[in-house]
Structure 1
Amino acid sequence: MLPFTRCRCLKHIARECLSGVQVRAGKHARLCLPRALGLAEFGKSWHSTHTLLGNKNIVLMGPPGAGKTTVGRILGQKLGCCVIDVDDDILEKTWNMSVSEKLRDVGSEQFLEEEGKAVLGLSACGSVISLTGSNPMHDASMRHLKKNGIVVYLDVPLLDIIGRLKRMKVDRIVGQRPGAPMKDLLQMRRQYYKKWYDARVFCESGASPEEVANKVLSAVQRYQDVDSETFISTRHVDPRDGERKVPAKFFSEAVVEGLASDGGLFVPEKGLPAVSCGEWKSLVGASYVERAQILLERCIHPADIPAARLGEMIEAAYGENFACSKIAPVRHLSGNQFILELFHGPTGSFKDLSLQLLPHLFAHCIPPSCNYMILVATSGDTGSAVLNGFSRLSKNDQQRIGVVTFFPENGVSDFQKAQIVGSQRENGWAAGVQADFDFCQTAIKSMFNDSDFTGFLTAEYGTTLSSANSINWGRLLPQVVYHASAYLDLVSQGFITFGSPVDVCIPTGNFGNMLAAVYAKMMGLPIRKFICASNQNHVLTDFIKTGHYDLRERKLAPTFSPSIDILKSSNLERHLHLMANKDGPLMAKLFRQLENQHHFQIERMLVEKLQQDFVADWCSEAECLAAISSTYDASGYILDPHTAVAKVVADRLQDKTCPVIISSTAHYSKFAPAVMRALKIREINQTSSSQLHLLGSYNALPPPHGALLARTKQQEKMDYQVCAADVDILKSHVEKRIQNQFV
């Protein structure tokens, strides 16, 4: 059984046979066959061709006052094609009366039904169709239009729409009851627009119809060009310099494969898309779900995941399983320091922000007939978050996707271990390893790169391996959203104006959380400095200061902040690749040297480039506990040890000329013994449940975490296997779990 790929052969053969056809091969393969149909009822032919459209129609959708008719006419002039205005060319000719008269005669419900039936009679190709604002409320007619059309949603700010309708002296629209606010109806209609569109165009306040029309053309071109957004390995070889070992991949393939076959990590070949200042501003008042959908749409081609399906996944990921409706709220701590609370998910850590979404992305991207086993190395928080996320899939998807998570048996907190083991489900298992996190991570990479082992699993069990660590692009990408959302929240709360710079301070060991902030800056956010906070395992801090990544004679030290007890920072490779202008051979050389000689040194020019954006420092155990104590005394806010590490480093390095956003990566409940020690609470040798209830009695901020409290009350103790630090033993464990899950 082969891993999923979007089939290029089928696509190219079809293109040779069919002129102007878009083909999507893979999980949801479809052929959009040519049509040459006319609207005979009105004696007019709606048939024209253009190289951009082929036999497709551009279908403009949006609220009344969005400018669909005006933009449609401009597009018709630019493309030299027919323009169909549903109001003027379909409805009024069908009914022999104006739309307003019809609405007055039959009422809203009957109007919607008759409007839909009229559109069902429309046949056209190669044309621009401007819908009415209410067309998307009729399912059958929209399905009819989508068969041969690219539906483009003109997303105009709500206040702009209300202002335009007021100027047009429109005081009532279809479906609006007497006395009901128009704003509420317009807001309600957004759910219908989200259901149908293929591409979204933001119509910024003040944008001219010409500008909007150009955006529509760009959106349609992107939608049609299904090969335009590919991913390469960080160790790729430019075809001009030699034979490329790993061909470019699509988003679907990068998510499913996890790690490139040459040992590198997948990155977008053309980088991340830029978001304009006006578009960022339009997101200031948006919810987290809305921000996520808009930003991720830009980064995921609709041929991989259609916009409507992506929206469903995002809503499922960030729903009632998060304790706070803001998902990742920003709280003012003191002075110009702000806390980004990333722990409101079901397992109480920042990993939930990506691992509630990744399983849905993954399940969508794999073919229905394949089985996959997800392998995960965890330094504490990832394990329970992965097991929780994949357990929320549908029963059908759970039968196709299993999870094995390896954690250092003596390298996580007692609560974290109980949480990981207690998160095991029918399709997910935990295994302790008598080694540190770096061994677990290296062992998994070696399994991926062992073609004999992976080939055996495929041939014997029809099962392919993949990963949900931050080496997986589908895991890393959603983290960009919360960094962007934090900045937008500071704007909406009035602490800064849009365009003002901020610094971010992040406790990190594997560099994924930090890299996501770098990507947010690439997309247009004015992040000034990235402050890298380490604990006693400060290999990253040393590297940023010297350019020398040196693991020789360095042993991992267990700390109060175990989730950053990491020496081999996987995602650093992605950032070095970005800084070195995508020099794949250099990445292969550096990380091969790290593997073999346990160190590497980058050249001075790259060190200087790194230090333009990054500063770094580390925090001792005593300083960590002191920061928890002093912060609680000053503000009544309890930091977890990882956030305390970031607070110490932020205090030391921020220059106070602009705000700093400190990432709070876990709820303090997960590290109750360390917090109680910092707060000098004597009753420290209690059960986890008692410790959490005792901390909750302090009426501190943030409040107790309900899901974590519920976890401590779990009576049933689950069994789990402990493995020796031997890759062959871990391989045997993986095979056994595959037999249990799929055979």
Structure 2
Amino acid sequence: MGSLGRLSAVRRRLLPRLTSKSWLSTRPSILGDRNILLMGPPGAGKTTVGRIVAHKLGLPAVDVDDDVLEVAWKRPVAAVLASLGGRRFLEAEGQALCQFSSSGCVVSLTGSNPLHAEAMQHVQQSGLVVYLDVDEDDILTRLDRMKVNRIVGQEDGVPMRDILLYRKQFYEKWLDVRVLCGRGDTEEEVAEKVVKAVQRYQNRHEETYVSTRGSGEQKKTCFSDVVVEGLAADGGLYVPRNGFPRMDAGEWKRLVSMSYPERALLLLEKCIHPVDVSAADLRRMVFKAYGSNFSSEAVAPVKHLVEQQFVLELFHGPTASFKDLALQLMPQLFAHCLPLMCNYLVLVATSGDTGSAVLSGFGGLSGVDARRTGVLVFFPEEGVSEIQKLQMLGFRGGNGRAVGVLSDFDFCQKSIKRMFGESGLVGHLAVEYGTVLSTANSINWARLLPQVVYHSSSYLDLCRDGVIRFGDPVDVCIPTGNFGNAMSAVYAKQMGVPIRRVICASNHNRIITDFFSTGEYDLRRRRLLPSHSPAIDILKSSNLERFLFHASGGDSGLVGELFARLDAQQHFRVAAPLLSRMQQEVQAGCCSEDECLSAVRRVHARTGYLMDTHTAVAKVVADRLQDGSCPVVLSSTAHYGKFAPAVFQALGVQNPPEDPVEQLRLLERSAARPGAHGDMLRGLRGGSGPHGVCQADYRELEEKVESVIREAS
């Protein structure tokens, strides 16, 4: 008899007959007649957890090893594995599972079931696959104590750690919902997490978003809606209705040894409902976003600077700024969430870095996604560095373009917000061209959310490197103008990262510093001043609206009133109790132009580390406000090469070259660390030459939007 004949005989002997027992629940389940399918490695506690979950929910519990395989085979699983060997056992086990049926039960799969694709496709149709993601050391300890002898691979002498590593890819492939188990979690604690995870999956309507200015009963707006819409219809910004999910210390400690993409995946799974973006799709997007397109394998490494100060390097992405950390992922989320019937034009206002990052991110889309999605960037013609301008203009053709505006960032941003609020324009573009407007600025929730990851990751890096233990406080100091980066740190704290203070660093456009000092936001007598740190040359901080919503306990009426007053009168003041709550979470300071350049020079002379001018602003403010009782992490938001003329001035370099490419090459020879940014250098080629420029006229920008849509139609 040939090998196929022998295998068929084995199947006939080992497979359960069609008359074998099926499990049908007679009680209603939170998933209706669907099963809860517990998946995980050997030693994850699937059997025990399954029984506890079943008891909590009043449902039948089925253990595939004990109740299906051994009943059908009438032999212990270990004996069958010993007689067949690993490969033939997996096939027999998989075929047995294909014959299994149940309804409304808690089913504990075997650790090797996910290795059989046909079997997993069969059972996945009947229920929700819940992955018990248990710490590897916990598993090894349990298996050693249990003396388990029925694990495929053991018979060939493969080390258990290697077996677990190999199988992880299959668990990641088949999961619908992950239960992240903290180190030392008991089976009872894991079971409680399973119940909550299943309830979360079932109750998607509770995981919705509201406008910061909304009043009364708002519509149920899900993640997919807010990604595509960008700005709420009432002019407010979207925030989670129930706030951010909070992770316990055990869960955070699991992330310490993980890579940046792994951390990002697990954190974003907590924040994005799996019905909106499936676990498999999210994993694909995250690992594409944070891969070889970053010049550092660590993606966002943390480096020691001096004493208790550390630098979070956020400039290793394709366009050399922190915006890449969000904008390599956000376009994928956007394309995934798009309705099928429309084309979209993404409007972006930039003070420098966002523009090239958006063009790079959306330029990575392909096929139908690229054809349906266009990008139009407005930037202040005289308000960005020459290298930033060349980066934006270097993206020619494809689905994106950049246009200069003879005004400042605030005018560009205000104009885009106005377009969203003009129903006549929005309706005309939809009817005439089948095109809907959206945005990729940090007012879009999908832009802000990925930034929570790097603030969390920096804390975990300090834990991994032994600088702190989990639970120890840190401060973060962030150069900010639009408050998005700072707001993402506030949200990281809300998720459970032990951030003590968020310190906002302003240049001499000190609107945020003054606001947190006095409670008064006053634009009436201010004009925007050019600076060495142009990315934070902003007077109207959009994401401050989200912070006020947070600090006021979700008082959308108050937030709407304050920003209506700002639009009408260019001024508002918050009451003393609210200001006090704001100051408990956020401190702010500012930096003069001379102090900025001096910081670049001093740090380079002392350490050999070359900061960009925005990082220097954070350094000056941290020196002033840091009390020395805990580490402070400075957000280094851009590579120094993007602001070469100011850096040359700081270093006292005489007669630097005028050509931006030559400037970067000279800086490469001047700086010991961090190294040159090859992607930025390559991106400058093709950016020179004439480009579109608009006057500071809203109607002209509106006409530019329609002309871009018309040309693409």
Q: Return the TM-score normalized by structure 1.
A: 0.92
The residue number in structure 2 matching 1:451 is 423
Equivalent of residue 37 in structure 2, options 55, 59, 69: 59
Residue 635 (structure 1) aligned with residue 607 (structure 2): yes
What pairs with 1:211-226 in structure 2 (closer than 5 Å)?
Answer: 211-226=189-204
State how far apart, in whole Å, the 1-side matches of 2:300 and 2:19 are.
54
> In 2, Cα distance between the equivalents of 1:450 and 1:221?
40
**What's the CA shift string for 1:75-119, capped at 9, x where partnerless?**
222223222211122222333332222222333222222221111
Deviations 1:367-414 (A, max 9, x none): 223211100000000000000001111221001111101000110000
Q: Distance in 1 between matches of 2:439 and 2:155?
A: 52
Query: For 1:476 and 1:646, how far apart are their aligned partners in 2?
Result: 20
Match of 2:96 in 1: 118
Q: 1:224-623 residue pairs with structure 2 within 5 A?
A: 224-239=202-217, 246-623=218-595
Change (3 A) 1:699 1:617: closer
Aligned counterparts of 1:445 and 1:202: Cα–Cα separation in 2: 39
Deviations 1:342-386 (CA, angstroms, capped at 9, x unpaired): 011110000000001101111111122321110000000000000
Quote the Cα distance in structure 1 between the aligned partners of 2:281 and 2:400. Answer: 25
Q: Give the aligned residue type for 1:542.
A: D
Q: More deviation in 78-87 or 415-424?
A: 78-87
Compared CA separation, residues 171 and 99, structure 1 to 2 (3 A): closer
User: Can you list the C-alpha shifts for 1:662-711, whole angstroms capped at 9, x where unaligned?
Assistant: 00000111111111111112241342222111111235111111111222
1:226–1:716 distance in 2 versus 1, CA, 3 Å: closer
Amino acid at match of 1:323: S
- In the TM superposition, 1:25-36 aligns within 5 A as none
Cα shift at 1:51 = 3.7
Letter in 2 for 1:86: V
Distance across 2 between alignment mates of 1:582 and 1:238: 12
Superposed displacement of residue 177, structure 1 = 7.8
What secondary structure does 1:42 align onto?
A: coil
Secondary structure at the aligned position of 1:606 is classed as helix
Kindly state the Cα deviation for residue 53 of structure 1 after the two structures are TM-superposed.
3.0
For the 8 Å contact 1:631–1:637, the answer to whether it is kept is yes
Assess, with a 3 A threshold, how the Cα gap between structure 1 residues 110 and 647 changes in structure 2: closer, same or farther. same
> How do 1:625-704 residues align onto structure 2 when only pairs under 5 Å count?
625-704=597-676
2:711 alignment partner AA: N
Give ranges in structure 1 of 5+ residues lacking alignment: 1-37, 240-245
More displaced stretch, 226-235 vs 96-105? 96-105
The corresponding residue for 1:20 is: none
- Aligned with residue 80 of structure 1, among 58, 75, 78: 58
Deviation sequence 1:445-467 (CA, Å, 0-9, x none): 00000000000011111111000
Uncovered stretches (5+) of structure 2, i.e. residues with no partner: 1-15
- The whole-number CA distance in structure 2 between the counterparts of 1:96 and 1:708 is 65
1:570, distance to aligned residue in structure 2 (A) = 0.1
8 A contact 1:39–1:45 mirrored in 2: no
The alpha carbon displacement at 1:655 in A equals 0.6
More divergent stretch after superposition (632-641 vs 419-428): 419-428
In structure 2, how many angstroms separate the alpha carbons of the residues matched to 1:247 and 1:39? 51
Q: Distance in 2 between matches of 1:349 and 1:81?
A: 52
What percent identity do the matched residue pairs reach?
Answer: 55
8 Å contact kept, 1:58–1:150: yes
Match of residue 24 from structure 2? 46
Task: From 713, 722, 732, give the equivalent of 2:703.
Answer: 732
| Counterpart code for 2:301 | P
CA distance in 1, matches of 2:17, 2:511: 69
SS at match of 1:497: coil
Question: Residue 150 of structure 1: SS of its match in structure 2?
Answer: strand
- In 2, Cα distance between equivalents of 1:187 and 1:529: 38
**Aligned AA (1:675):** V
Q: What is the Cα deviation at residue 432 of structure 1?
A: 0.5
Quick one: distance in 1 between partners of 2:74 and 2:397?
62
The answer as to whether partners of 1:87 and 1:99 remain within 8 angstroms in 2 is yes
The equivalent residue for 1:184 is: 162
Looking at structure 2, the residues matched to 499 and 463 of structure 1 have their Cα atoms a distance apart, in angstroms, of 49
Structure 2 equivalent of residue 96 of structure 1: 74
- Preserved contact between residue 422 and residue 718 of structure 1 (Cα < 8 Å): no
Which stretch shows the higher mean deviation, 416-425 or 92-101? 92-101
CA contact (8 A) 1:46 1:127 kept: yes
What is the CA deviation profile of residues 531-550 of structure 1, one whole-angstrom value per residue up to 9, with x for unaligned ones?
Answer: 11000111110101000101
Q: What do the CA deviations read for 1:263-299 (whole angstroms, capped 9, x no partner)?
A: 1000111111111111111111111111111111111
Output the aligned Cα RMSD.
1.6
Amino acid at match of 2:129: V
- In 1: Cα distance, 2:466 partner to 2:149 partner: 33
Q: CA shift at 1:176, angstroms? A: 5.7
Gap change, CA 1:722 and 1:547, over 3 Å in 2? same
Q: TM-score, normalised by structure 2?
A: 0.95
CA distance in 1, matches of 2:495, 2:149: 39
Q: Which amino acid aligns with 1:473?
A: W
Whole-angstrom CA distance in 2 between matches of 1:588 and 1:81: 48
1:132 and 2:104 matched: no
Tell me which residue corresponds to 1:174. Answer: 152
**Distance verdict in 2 for CA 1:508–1:615, change over 3 Å:** same
Bigger Cα displacement from structure 2, 131-140 vs 85-94? 85-94
Q: Is the 8 A contact 1:668 1:675 kept in 2?
A: yes
Q: Return the alpha-carbon distance in structure 1 between the equivalents of residues 422 and 632 of structure 2.
A: 44
Partner of 2:11: none
Cα distance in 2 for residues equivalent to 1:267 and 1:715: 39
Q: Counterpart of 1:581 in structure 2: which amino acid? A: G
Distance 2:121 2:364 in 1: 30
The 1-side partners of 2:673 and 2:155 are apart by 44
Partner secondary structure for residue 41 of structure 1? coil
Whether the 8 Å CA contact 1:391–1:425 is kept in 2: the answer is no
Code of the aligned partner of 2:602: S
Provide, for residues 56-82 of structure 1, a one-character-per-residue CA deviation record: whole Å limited to 9, x for no partner. 100000000000011111222222322
Deviation at 1:179, TM superposition (A): 4.9
The 8 Å contact of residues 228 and 338 in structure 2, kept in 1 or not, is answered as yes
2:3 aligned residue? none
Q: Distance in 1 between matches of 2:671 and 2:635?
A: 22
Per the TM alignment, residue 171 of structure 1 is displaced from its structure 2 partner at its CA by 6.8
> Residues 192-232 of structure 1: CA distance to partner in whole angstroms, max 9, x if unpaired?
11111111112222222122111111111111112011111
Correspondence for 1:163: 141
Once the two structures are TM-superposed, the CA of residue 719 in structure 1 deviates from its matched residue by 4.8
**One-letter code of the match for 2:128?**
I
How many residues in Structure 1 have an aligned counterpart in Structure 2? 698
